[in-house]
Amino acid sequence: MLISLKWLNDYIDLSDVSIEKIEEKLTASGLEVEEIIDYKSKYNNIVVGFVESSEKHPDSDHLSICSVSDGNSIYNVICGAPNVAKGQKVAFAKVGAIIPNGNLEIKKAKIRGVNSEGMLCSESELGLSENHSGIIVFDESAEIGKNIASHLQLDDVSFEISITPNRADALSHIGVARDLAALFNKNIKLPEINFQPIAKNIAEFAKVIIENSSDCPRYSAIIMEDVKVQESPKWLQDRLKTIGLRSINNIVDVTNYVMYEIGQPLHAFDLDNLSGKTIIVKNASENETFITLDSKLHKLNSNNLMICDAEKPVAIAGIMGGENSEVTPNTKNILIESAFFNQSSIRKTSKQLGISTDASYRFERKTNPDITIWAAKRAAQLIQQIAGGNILDGILDIYPNPIEEKIVEIRFTRIYKILGYSIEKNIIKDIFLKLGFEILTENNDFLKIRIPLSRPDIEREIDLIEEVARIYGFENIPEITRINVTLNKKIDQTSIREKIRDTFVGLDFNEIITNSLLNKETAEKFGNPINLLNPQSSEMTHPRPTLFAGMLQTISRNLKVKENNLKLYEIGHIFNQINPEIVDFSDFQEIDSLLFAITGFSSDEEWFHSKEKFDIYSLKGIAESLVQNIIPNKKIRFEYFTGANSYFEYGFVIKIEQKEIGKGGKIKSDICNFFDVKQDVFAFETSINNLELETEEQKFKPLLKFPKIQKDMAFIIDKSVTSEEVEKVIKKGSSNLLKNIKLFDIFESEAIGKNKKSLAFQLEYYNEQRTLTDEEVDKEFWQAIEKVKTELKAELRGN
């Protein structure tokens, strides 16, 4: 919200305080100043210029070449405005000026072959109005060369303040002034209300009925006759301009002005369009329609609070007036509404209808029910000053259950317990007084305080403690040099993920983090995704049911920049719907998943070896290293599938006993194609939970004290026999002296036969208790060979 410095000075004298100090103090007290708009510097280098001459551009129908004086020099300026003419006083932006509308810097330029050293501006270009029909022409009295901010008396400063939702009280100039008074130890003064009503009693003339007093606890109204609706005077237009509001007419402008002054939203009705001169506050009927003053049609329901006359609705309460009763240039008599509505009722209706206005914004944050009459009178007084007319005697005010001010106790010990530093009692008391709170009781232990209704956010002791800390200043919190650490057991639920990441660093993988929101088509390819009710775009409608999509998108994007060799992994949550409707956490599944993928070449061409493509064996090896590194003391085993399985063409499952730990393989090419990935991708998926459940404390295993004996064997065997089958038979033919079998060579060639292959194994024998003799190992070894020969029709090589 924009707050004008000049405007603030109406209520608090800030003449001895610098702009920087105001900014600092406001921010330090919780009213964060996001930007300072200094209109003088905003219009730097934009001055009143004099058009000495204006001629048509030789190469253009609509451009003119002008000579413009700033009082010192004459400049050549090309102008496209239809209304430019010799002898005008204009808004001249010189080289170096920044045009507020669009932030364009003016530079020397050549326009259709002619030099131009500046620009003549329209109101819209200067951000003064939306008028861009032609350049601004000032009247004769304008002083040539004067900065236009000074000429237009726009030499104000505005603070753009970000107001948190709890500070409804600060949504007005008086509200901000109240904080400044406490911060700078000054007093504020409110404008005096002082007008002479005519001898016509409002109560005999009009009436207000509240049918729903819980949503509308208070409704006040004042009536004026014979006002003249016209353009607002310059001072009012300027004030609204400095806080970014557009002037509409003098009546509407005053209602806005008072809202930004005290925070009470007002609405002016054309009294002659209020049937029966009656206001009835009640709920809409179901499916009733209503046209607001922006000419939009709304469908209502029975929860929407409406302002009605004797026959029809005339406004959506607290949100927006109706077209049927708005103030028009022909309006003579007006009723000014100044009401207090229930905050959640306004918010619900505003959300439901999708209308948010300055009024609804304030009502839903809770306004002050105490100021309705003051605000109505203040508006009437201002309207009378600028639009004439008569104010009827009295005020309509329905307030059946007056809201009481809260009384809250604050204990000094509690202040210390929360803040951890002590503040003198006198300072505490002073802070409350400056904020306009009343101290009812005071003793050594506590203060009893009455909170004005302007501060709906203060209801509890903790709220008062916050006020003390805020105004006393966070910069005054003493620095501490030691803290207390509790000695209860420490837990790190993320440690396994860190161990996995460390493993991948060692395996030369890059970690990725992808967008977890996918579009429908992609998400549905990979599971049973959950639909978002209100997505930001059609590209992000479903939380990912898998990490595969993000992985393949990442691979695709990298291939486009010629990063063809990739080893990537991601750890992240995936979401799948279980039951058709989500009413409980058991209706969906959220898993912390892990996926890694490899594609392209594992190593480039080097002088010491040739390049090598990633294949299923690379994947298998990485999966094995990873799982075994995380779960070192459990035996893992592989199961294989050669037909399509989930997203894989072929692949394997890693198991520990009967439990599946993860699954990997070559991703189906149609899935790769969907992501525009034209090379083979191998991937392995598991979950953090799967891995974590298997981990157990690692124990030392004594080192072997006796020698190992290694022996090699090679077979020529049918191509269809798998390496695993051979290993199984070798084991079958051996005792427990055989500890490891390793395939170390495989080849196929014409020489050994068309359907044959050669497999060579290294066998490792040892016993933990003693040294083995050559004889017993030889016996074992030959037994195993015989077993393979007979069971698998293998031929021992080298015989």
Partner 1 sequence: MLDKIEQIVKNFNSEIENATQKDIFEEIRNKYFSRKGLIAELFEDLKQLSKDEKPKYGQLLNQTKNELNAIFEKYLENYSSKNLESSFNLDLTLPSKKKNLGTKHILNQTLLEIKDIFKGLGFSIYDGPELESDYYNFEALNFPKDHPARDMQDTFFVNKNFLLRTHTSPVQARLMQSTKPPIRAIIPGKVYRNEAISAKSYCLFHQVEGLFIDKDVTFAELTGTLIYFAKQYFGENVKYRFRPSFFPFTEPSSEVDIWWQPKGKTGRWLEILGCGMVDPNVLEFNGIDSEEYTGYAFGLGIERMTMLKYGIDDIRIFFDNDKRFLKQF
| DSSP, residue by residue, 356-377 | --HHHHHHHT---GGGHHHHHH
First to last CA, the chain: 94
DSSP codes joined into one string, 152-211: TT---EEEEEE--TT-GGGSSHHHHHHHHHHHHT----PPP------S-BHHHH-EEEES
Cα 128 to Cα 144, 259, 357, 476, 714, distances in angstroms? 20, 22, 22, 42, 92
Q: How far is the CB of 463 from partner 1 (least distance, A)?
A: 7
Identify the DSSP state of 287. Answer: T
Residues ≥6 apart with Cβ < 8 Å to 55: 64, 65, 66
Q: Which two tokens stand for residue 240?
A: 């609204």
Between 29 and 250, CB nearer to partner 1: 29
306 contacts 300 by C-beta, under 8 angstroms = yes
Q: Residue 374: count other Cβ atoms within 10 Å of its Cβ.
A: 18
Least CB distance to partner 1 at residue 77 (A): 32
Q: Are 767 and 691 in contact (CB under 8 A)?
A: no
Nearer to partner 1 among residue 148 and residue 667 (C-beta): 667
Work out how close the CB of 488 gets to partner 1 at its nearest, in angstroms, rounded to a whole number: 6
Bridge partners (DSSP) of residue 64 are: 56, 79
Within 10 Å of residue 223's Cβ, how many Cβ atoms?
25
Cβ contacts of residue 97 below 8 Å, gap of 6+? 43, 44, 45, 46, 105, 106, 118, 119
Nearer to partner 1, 26 or 63 (CB): 26
CA distance 75 to 127: 24
Tokens standing for 3?
């707050």
DSSP 223-279: EEES----PPPHHHHHHHHHTTPPP--HHHHHHHHHHHHHS--EEEEEGGGSGGGEE
CB 246 within 8 A of CB 405: no
> Which residues are paired to 446 by β-bridges?
411
Instruction: Report in angstroms how near the CB of residue 661 gets to partner 1 at its nearest.
Output: 21
Contact 552, 598 (CB under 8 A): no
Q: Which is nearer to partner 1, 639 or 745 (CB)?
A: 745
- The residue among 533 and 703 lying less far from partner 1, judged by its C-beta, is 533
CB of 361 to partner 1, least distance (A): 8
The torsion defined by the Cα of 536, 539, 544 and 549, in degrees rounded to 10, comes to: -150
The kind and range of the H/E element at 3 are: strand 2-4
Query: Smallest gap, in angstroms, from Cβ of residue 579 to partner 1?
Result: 12
Q: Which residues contact 609 (CB under 8 A, 6 or more apart)?
A: 603
**Can you give 543-566 as a three-state secondary structure string?**
ECCCCHHHHHHHHHHHHHCCCCCE
User: Which residue, 139 or 479, is less far from partner 1 as judged by CB?
Assistant: 479
- Least distance from C-beta 781 to partner 1, angstroms? 11
CB of 434 to partner 1, least distance (A): 16
Q: How far is the CB of 365 from partner 1 (least distance, A)?
A: 6
Roughly what angle, to the nearest 10 degrees, separates helices 461-472 and 425-434? Answer: 100
Nearer residue to partner 1 within complex by CB, 198 or 477: 477
532 and 542 in contact (C-beta within 8 Å)? yes
Distance of alpha carbon 737 from alpha carbon 235, whole angstroms: 103
Tokens matching residue 618? 């690379």
- To partner 1, the closest distance from the beta carbon of 511 in angstroms equals 4
> Minimum Å distance from CB 17 to partner 1?
19
- Least Å distance, CB 577 to partner 1, is 9
Judged by beta carbon, residue 514 or residue 734, the one nearer partner 1 is 514
Q: What distance lies between CA 610 and its chain's CA centroid?
A: 50
Short-list 112, 80, 115, CA closest to 95: 115
> What's the one-letter identity of residue 121?
C
Least gap, CB of 19 to partner 1 (angstroms): 16
Minimal distance, residue 782 CB to partner 1, in Å: 9
Please state, in angstroms and rounded to a whole number, the distance separating the CA atoms of residues 72 and 145. Answer: 8
Taking alpha carbons only, the member of 242, 339, 348, 331 closest to residue 6 is 242
To partner 1, the closest distance from the beta carbon of 348 in angstroms equals: 6
CB-wise, 460 or 659, nearer to partner 1? 460
Beta carbon of residue 44, minimum distance to partner 1 (angstroms, whole number): 17
Nearest residue (CB) to partner 1, 338 versus 576: 576
Work out the number of other CB atoms within 10 angstroms of the CB of residue 118: 27
Compute the distance between CA of residue 605 and CA of residue 770 in angstroms, rounded to an integer.
48
* Shortest Å distance, C-beta 312 to partner 1: 28
